[in-house]
Amino acid sequence: MKILVTGGNGFIGSNFIRYFLKKKIVKKIINIDKNSYESISDNFLNFKSKKYFKIKDNLSSSKKIEKIILNHKIDIILHMAAESHVDRSIKDPHKYIMSNVIPTLNILRACVSTRNKRSVRLIYFSTDEVFGSNHKSPPFKLTSQLNPSSPYSASKAAAGLLVSSWRKTYNIDASIVYCCNNYGPYQNPEKLIPASIYRIMNSLPILIYGNGKQIRTWIYVEDTIRAIDKIINVRENINRDYIIGSNRDYTNLTIIRKLISIVNDHSNIGNAKDLIQFTQDRPGHDLAYKLSKDKVLEKLGFKILFDLDRGLKKTVKWYMENPKFIEKNKYKSFIKNLRKVGFK
């Protein structure tokens, strides 16, 4: 099996590569990443394997993608590359359309143009945010209506619709995977859990939007990778879409309180609860993303291995053992934004 991963220097992409490089069935993994501010540095990831190849590219040319598919004899494309920060999408929506929609179009065009020479299966990685908020409704499922609330989620929904339409019109092999909130090692420190861990460890104010009662379904990243493993190995009905959820819903405030407790178990940080600060909510902030489990995935043998407490403990341990992760990966904007509001 030869796999092309877009966004392999990202959070989920890098965890996927690390996990799949150990598999004997995998003969080659090509990682295409443009090395943006969100990307983890290659030196930090340190993928030492003869099966791994890195290509720096922004997916702006379908012709380049065609050559990669044919030259490396790709079997599966796992399209994870995306700008993923909601706050940043509100400030610069054009960037999110150009980064999330156009590259998806180019990949689809490449799949069509190469299929006479190489049959490729595409797995597009989407998000539960494309369905909008469901704080008063049951968990989302595959038949839920798309109702994005931010430029980010709108760009992901648009790209997903392209995948769906190409599947119908051009008969390509493609699946869309809708995933709930992931957490774990190597996550960008602008995200809730790593940002909170960093602030707790450094006695910095822990910022929470609104009242902190926004509800999210959470899953440890290794469980997500194991679910993708099941999807990749499907041999029948390969064009089916999937949901990777856990049915484990928590408020942001609950997550932060759990993190404070876990960090406190490892080091005496004092009364970190006093560090919690509630800030003005962001525009269009959805109150809840609750995602159901996928019964088909369960029939394929997928089970959640990490409950929230176990997953958070592993996550905190990793960040405490890798204190230089933020600085080494050039997240200068994160540090700069902290200093702008008086943090040192």
Active-site residues, by number, are 128-129, 152
Asked if residues 10 and 38 have their Cβ atoms less than 8 Å apart, the reply is: yes
Nearest alpha-carbon partner for 123 in 295, 3, 8: 3
Contacts of 274-278 with C-beta under 8 Å, sequence gap 24+, read 275/199, 275/200, 275/203, 275/204, 275/205, 275/206, 276/205, 276/206, 276/208, 276/212, 277/205, 277/206, 277/207, 277/208, 278/208, 278/209, 278/210, 278/211, 278/212
Q: Report how far apart, in Å, the C-alpha atoms of 201 and of each of 109, 142, 260, 321, 337 are.
A: 46, 39, 9, 12, 18
**Distance in angstroms (rounded) separating the CA atoms of residues 330 and 36:** 10
Asked if residues 302 and 230 have their Cβ atoms less than 8 Å apart, the reply is: yes
**Distance in angstroms (rounded) separating the CA atoms of residues 69 and 30:** 10
**Distance in angstroms (rounded) separating the CA atoms of residues 218 and 221:** 9
**Distance in angstroms (rounded) separating the CA atoms of residues 192 and 186:** 13
Instruction: Please tell me the number of Cα atoms within 13 Å of 122 on its side-chain side.
Output: 31
In this structure, is the dihedral angle defined by the CA atoms of residues 299, 301, 307 and 313, taken in order, positive or negative? negative
Runs of H (alpha helix) within the chain: 11-20, 42-45, 62-71, 86-91, 93-100, 102-114, 151-170, 192-201, 221-232, 252-266, 295-299, 308-321, 325-328, 332-340
**Distance in angstroms (rounded) separating the CA atoms of residues 68 and 73:** 8
